[in-house]
Every structure is written in C-alpha cells, then in structure tokens.
Amino acid sequence: MNPGILNLHNHTPFSDGAYTIDEIVEAHLDLKEIKVAGVGISDHLFCTPTSREVTNEREYQRIFAAEARNYVAEVRAARERWGDKIRIYCGAEINWPKNKGMFKLIPDMLEGIDYVLFEYVDWAGLTQLANAARRFPCPIGLAHADVSREYPKTPHDQIVRTLANARIFYEISSKFMPLNDFDPWYSVLPQHRVQVAIGTDTHDDLHCLRDIQPMHEFAVRKGLGDKFVAPGPRARGSAATPTPAMSA
C-alpha cells in the first residue's frame, strides 16, 4: 500500500515549533507544486526539563506520561477538524541522549502515537534501539541522521542491515538539502528492506515545505518510491512487523 506523499516531521508550540497544527496543515494544503496526502506532527516528547533533572523511574513516569496523553489528545482533535481534507498523523520525536537512561519506560507511554523519530542516536544507541524495536507499538525511525558523519567507523552496509533487521525506517531530511545524488548511502539503502520517510523538520520557517517535492522526487529516483513508511499503530501480535509489509 502506498500511503501517498507524507511529511512526517513538523513541530508545534507543544515543543519548540512556532506554528500551530492548523497553520502547518494549511501551509501544506496551500502548496501548489505537489499534493501532500498526510502531515505528521512530531513534537519532542520525554525531554527532561532544563530547570530540573529527572533522576528516577517513578518521577519520569509521573511527569511525562501525562504530557504524552495531552499531546495525543491535541493532535487527535486536529485530525477530526481536518479529516475531510488531509490525513494527520500523531508522531513523536525523542532525543536519544536525554532519554537513554529511562529508555525502557518509553514504549509503554506511546498509546495513540503513530510513529516515533529518534534523533542524535550514536552507534551504541542504535544497537540498543534495534534490540528493543519489537517493544514499540508503532514504527520507529532515525531522524535527520547523516550516517557518514554520525557513524564514521561503521560501514554503510552494516548500518543498513541493522535498520533492516530491526525494521527501523530512515528519514530523508530537508536538513541535508540539496540532496547529493552521489552520496554512497543512497547507493546502499535501496538494496535493503528499509522503509523511508520524508521530513522537513518544520520549526519556525514554513519555507522548508518547498523541499517536500524535491525530496520525494529524489527518493523515487533512487529506487525508494515503493518504500515509504505508513504510520500507524501495529496490530496486536505483530509488533515485529510494521504496516504495511516492506517491499524488497
């Protein structure tokens, strides 16, 4: 199943974005050069407040479980408002360095979340994330990861096999525009069963939405056009396999 063109990386004032959900949706609908089928809201969740440090599991759960529920409710309300015009997905972006100490608590606080983007994941973190991927109730992916810079000592083939085996999708990010046709990562990636997503990482500048079309065209040109992830909760009993099943 092809979910259509989705932009899964947008922030709102719930975390560090400048535009409301409605403003972001309207901006996507106003795009003239491309029709976007769905918008993903992916605000930061489970970030330790700068004013204090969460030091134990009980405190972490007390602070962030309620935050996650409020966030899901807000996105679901927007989904109802815009349901006849565009699909809205409830995603989340999670900062790996800030949350790795309490990582085991996170999957149980994701009810209503359609997908998760992890940012700043080092190689040790990616290994840990891959080992725990089956516990997540929705697809998980790497946000704006420059694999050559972030994993300089790890062969691309090993990175992509780790993603494929754990069913972790990879975000094609506007942070790296213009995308390089000669980037060796995009020679290796299409050869494996790894799904991809498009993300503009929208914060305070809606001009980045212009990158959706060239990013989508780049993905298709690189043989990734049939590997776009479809966000949504995984069916019970099938946590190891995202929906839909990935193409070879």
Place of tokens 């479809």: 230
Separation CA 104–CA 60 (nearest Å): 11
Instruction: Please tell me the pTM assigned to this model.
Output: 0.92
* 8 Å CB contact between 29 and 85: yes
Predicted confidence at residue 155, as pLDDT, reads 96
How many angstroms separate the first and last alpha carbons of the chain?
Answer: 14
Separation CA 43–CA 94 (nearest Å): 8
- Whether residue 232 is contained in a domain is answered as no
* 8 Å CB contact between 132 and 103: yes
- Whether residue 57 is contained in a domain is answered as yes
Predicted confidence at residue 236, as pLDDT, reads 59
Predicted confidence at residue 220, as pLDDT, reads 97
- Whether residue 161 is contained in a domain is answered as yes
- Whether residue 237 is contained in a domain is answered as no
Non-local CB neighbours of 194 within 8 Å, separated by 6+ positions: 160, 163, 164, 168, 169, 170, 227, 246
- Backbone angles phi and psi of 184, in degrees to 5: -60, -25
- Whether residue 149 is contained in a domain is answered as yes
Per-residue pLDDT of the chain (248 residues; tens, 9 = 90+): 677 899 999 999 999 999 999 999 999 999 998 999 999 999 999 987 777 788 899 999 999 999 999 999 999 999 999 999 999 999 999 999 999 999 999 999 999 999 999 999 999 999 999 999 999 999 999 999 999 999 999 999 999 999 999 999 999 999 999 999 999 999 999 999 999 999 999 999 999 999 999 999 999 999 999 999 999 998 755 544 443 333 32
What residues make up the domain containing 12? 6-221
Predicted confidence at residue 45, as pLDDT, reads 96
Predicted confidence at residue 247, as pLDDT, reads 31
Predicted confidence at residue 1, as pLDDT, reads 62
- Whether residue 168 is contained in a domain is answered as yes
Predicted confidence at residue 240, as pLDDT, reads 43
The number of distinct structural domains making up the chain is 1
- Whether residue 14 is contained in a domain is answered as yes
Predicted confidence at residue 234, as pLDDT, reads 83
Burial of 20 (0-12, 13-18, 19+ CB in 10 A): middle
- Other C-beta atoms closer than 10 Å to the C-beta of 240 total 11
- Whether residue 77 is contained in a domain is answered as yes
CATH of the domain at 195: 3.20.20.140
Separation CA 151–CA 135 (nearest Å): 25
